[in-house]
Structure 1
Amino acid sequence: MMRKIAFLAGTSGLVGMQTLHLLLQDESYDMIISVGRRKLALKHGKLVQVDVDFKTIRNLDLEAKLREEDLGGIYFPLIEALQRKKLEIHAFCSLGTTIKSAGSKEKFYEIDHDFVINFALWTQQMGASKFLYVSALGADPQSNVFYNQVKGEVEEDLKVVPFDYLGLFEPSLLLGNRNEFRFGEEAAKILTKPLVWLKLAKKYRPIHDYQVAKAMIHHANVEKKVKVEVIPSKDMQQF
């Protein structure tokens, strides 16, 4: 009998991929449902991949989608569990892009803000009790830096969604192997890497993708007395 599942968005990114691998290894999760614009070339007995349009994800009928793709009946236990509505559901979100990749500030805002909020509202509608979001160091809706301003707006708007627990993770510069080259990030890594070696300035020094992923899963699975929690980069360094 299924007891706990996870929804995951942003799976193809740095933190998303690490989160997926850790969730698949975590025996407390019976199934991982990865939603994205395209499916990954990855198969696992606990992994269900669903292709979605984040513009319209709030209208997604997951059960119908699963039935449509379920040729051998392997999704039946999951569909039955969703219908019973007695599952513990955690949602993990690391959706995000850059203005360069998006092509404009408007498109960046749509992906980094609108898509995240749409995913959050859908997962809450599906019964998710906890939502764990990868934000950024310096997130502030009043920031003069557009990127930080958008991240800050996302944080504020997520607080309105009635989850039992909302974890806002604010990592500094991420270390890991990206599929795309980002010159600014690569230059910053070179300049700040001595902070990692010397274990200085925990607030600002770069952090590994797997540390953020481990922190998210840890916070999803411990007893919480607060409804909203901001987890700074320095606190994720211990993982």
Structure 2
Amino acid sequence: MVILRGIPEIVWALLLVRAVGLGSLPAVLAIGLAYGGMLAKVYAEILESQTPGLASALYLQGASRWQCLLYGLWPQALPELLSYSVYRWECAIRASAVMGFVGAGGVGQLLDTSLKMLNGGEVSTLLLVFLLLVSLSEGVSQLSRLALGRVATTRMLPLMGLLAVAASVLWLWPGWRDSGFDSSAIVRFARDFFPPASDMLADIAHGVVETLAMSGLGSVLAFMAGAVLAMPAAAGLVGLQSGSSRLLL
């Protein structure tokens, strides 16, 4: 999990573009690899944080570990798992913009072209599209949480997810079919990474300190902004204050 999420998705995309060519397939694979490590880590922590009483009772009654997971922990953790999964999908929408800058298709590639042409009107239009897509994911998140409160709609969620996956594959399949996957290109590209360079330790040390400083200060600013904006945007508060805070988020 550390290896998957420790390598940025942009690096995965650069590696995979060498194998499968330009288009959406390297972006799908890069986001899947990087976010797979992130989701696995958070899923494990969510499951570990659940009250173990029901799972322990099932285990003492002779249930297997898988049964304890499915019937003791999974129902409790499902709202959190679903909420974080939708949030990661929202992050993937934004990540797809970055994927476009390395030729992986999507609206991000249009944004890259518009930026290179210094066409401000097109850039603002595409940014508005991304804002609308993020708003769409926010709506999906809220509807999913509401659906979990009803048995009938809860059972429909997996079916709706499968339909969305099938529709996405059908839409992207023509480009994937013609991409010409070449696994040997990945091997040749990965071979260039070895052996690691040993003549840049001073630059690496400076870069590590700078990276930690940037991420630390950025996280402090994020914490301050999040603490201020989360309170008026929290569920249960209604009115102009909550709506404007969520719009800003």
TM-score surpassing 0.5?
A: no
Q: Which has the larger radius of gyration?
A: 2
Query: In proportion to residue count, which structure has more strand?
Result: 1
- For CA contacts below 8 A with separation 6 or more, give which structure has more relative contact order: 2
Tell me the TM-score normalized by structure 2.
0.26
Query: In proportion to residue count, which structure has more helix?
Result: 2
